[in-house]
Structure 1
Amino acid sequence: MIVDFEQVFTERTPRVVNAAKLLRSAGRKKANLFLAEGENAVEAAIATGAAQDVFVTESAARKFEHLITAAGHMNVYVHPITDRAAKSLSDTVTTTGLFAVCKPVLWPMKDVMRGKPNLVMVPVETAEPGNAGTLIRVADAVGADAVLFAGETVDPQSPKAVRASAGSLFHIPVMRESNFQAIFDTLKARNLQIIATSAEGETSLDDAGELLKQPTAWLFGNEAHGLSPELLAKADVRVRIPIRGRAESLNLATAASICMYESAKEQNR
């Protein structure tokens, strides 16, 4: 697909102005759209039909010619933009110059848990968008069935979260629900055991092999204060990750990666 750069959109062009508003939560909510930046995210958005418009600089059009061609095949509008316009669409210091305006991809509760899920990630009150995106990427990598963001969480469709997911936001069902009880009721209705991570958990991950063979939903706590006593009490089992070195603890993404990998390994033996 050939993009005509004779007349490019500037940062003041209405389409670019409206796309730039998607960098903020209020803008995404009002427009019911979100913005994806970078090769992986834009490629996944185009391939899954989520992308409505693509904005690209001249240098990015040359570098990502295959994606521009794919956008044309999917009847996605491609708009040439200036480098300055690209900066207005990015929340990073160095922009890729490639963006997609996307339809919402978060799933409703009734759809995200259809069928018989075997492995589900439930991050609780996740505050950092980079962590949210990384968790989605981890869940996708291990073959999990869904990611359920519980409580008051960061928006998984925020630019940093989308970028950190590296396209996985478009691959795996993701939902956001503030009502904890609704999530627990749904997990139990699907016959999933609920395992919470806790440094004081009664079961070591080393000894959880047989346990992890069962359909499982993992609860992962907030970055700063973990899981509340109330939520820990609602879990069927509390599991701790053995730390054999001198590190005091593991960060959220690392702990989730270890636990999800162990579950996937046992379920796929």
Structure 2
Amino acid sequence: MLKKISLLCILSAGFFTITAQEKIPFRMTKHNNIIIKTLVNDKDSLDLMFQIAMEDASISPERQRKADHIIFDKDDISKNNTVKIGKLIKKNVLFANNELTGHEADGKIGTGLFAGKAFKIDYDHNEFVSYDQLPDVKGYQAIPLLLQNGQLFIAGDNVIDGKQHEAYFLLQSGYSGGLLYSNEFSDEKDLEKKLKVTGEKTLRNSSGQSVTTKNGVLPFFKLGTLVLKDVSAGFFTGNLKTQRANYFGADVIRRFIWIIDPDRKTAYIKPSQYFSAPYYKLN
């Protein structure tokens, strides 16, 4: 009888190790940004925007709440901070100073929250779930990830003028819109002529150089076997050529539920409640 009880305890312990998880609630803004309520260094209550395109954290110069207990050095870097989110305690968090962030946020926090763990972005329940190991992904589709300098890229197929073009996109949850194309991709595919343009805005710098942001509509975008239709797609024209990467923005990220593996080599996706929602309109 004692042996049976001991075996049951071992099996139960193993089961809970495999399925151990931590839930973190978040709030979605009308601009598609994810806001997490945090307590930094046991003193500063801050609303931080989750930025999947970074690992560490930062504070915005336009913050609404005080961050007096984050001490920055001469290079505007602060190390060894403690961040509490509910029951989760994350130590040795690095903050950068004076980085702009999304609407309604005092700063940003990245994927370092889930270092060494798998994590889910669940837009149906407005929560993150972190796992010690990859959870059951039945019903999800596997998408390869490319990890570069702490940033995650995925490959998607763009249907332009009836032809399919593959491109890599940086997962960028700080950009409220849908797709945003690099200058190289935009020029090469002649998007100004081949996409239906729905709006534009021109800005000039002190030297008189201009950049025009154009909002267009991509007929189809394919991620794995899942297809988004009439996708909001932005690109730039003008003298300034500063957009170096294609962005997979918050408006398209929210259309899926994501599970990211611990090694950041694979994302598992399935449609969320927002899969067919109207697209976000940029101002």
TM-score interval for Structure 1 and Structure 2 normalised by the shorter chain: under 0.3
Q: Say which structure is richer in strand.
A: 2
